[in-house]
Amino acid sequence: MAPIAIPLMAASSVVSAGSSILGSIYESSASKASQKHYRHQANTERAVAQRRAIGLARDGELAESRAVARLAASGGGGSETTGGADLLSGLNRDRHNKAGMALWEGESRAQDLLYQAKLEKAQERQRKRMQALSGIEGVLNAGSSFASKYG
């Protein structure tokens, strides 16, 4: 066998291991970017839900204010009457329910996104393990091939 064969086999093993390492670095960077994106989206979902809840609460307060004005303008039934108190109580309850539901929906979407980030991280760890094993396998195969040819 030519004297250049041994350095070429060694170089081939080094290049194979190097490309595996570079691939691992690239996939790790992509995975971290994806995780960061999911966490950012989760925070965005929470912020949107909070703004929506504030808007719904504000709308509920406006409806309640209008009801009080109409009750006062009607001349007979103020908010102190049973009917007026029931109306205002219902409007208040509805306002709180809608705002709470908006917050819950946003938190639910945020938790789904955070779960996606956790899955991405677990997949990244698994890819790293598999690439390490693949690199070790490549080195062992090269060593075995070298030993069988020259041993």
**Mean pLDDT (whole number) for 38-49:** 94
Flag whether 135 is in a domain: yes
Report the C-alpha gap between 81 and 120 in whole angstroms.
Answer: 58
Confidence (pLDDT) at 80: 64
Structure tokens at 36: 């960061």
Flag whether 11 is in a domain: no
Environment class of 85 (CB within 10 Å of its CB; exposed 0-12, middle 13-18, buried 19+): middle
Number of folded domains that form the chain: 1
pLDDT bucket at 29, cuts 50 / 70 / 90: confident
Distance of CA 113 to the CA centre of its chain: 3
| Helices (H) then strands (E): counts for the chain | 2, 0
- Domain limits at 68? 18-150
Report the C-alpha gap between 66 and 58 in whole angstroms.
Answer: 12
pLDDT exceeds cutoff 90 at 52: yes
Contact 63, 130 (CB under 8 A): no
Q: What is the pTM of this model?
A: 0.64
Structure tokens at 124: 């990244």
Query: What is the percent of the chain where pLDDT is above 70?
Result: 75
Flag whether 28 is in a domain: yes
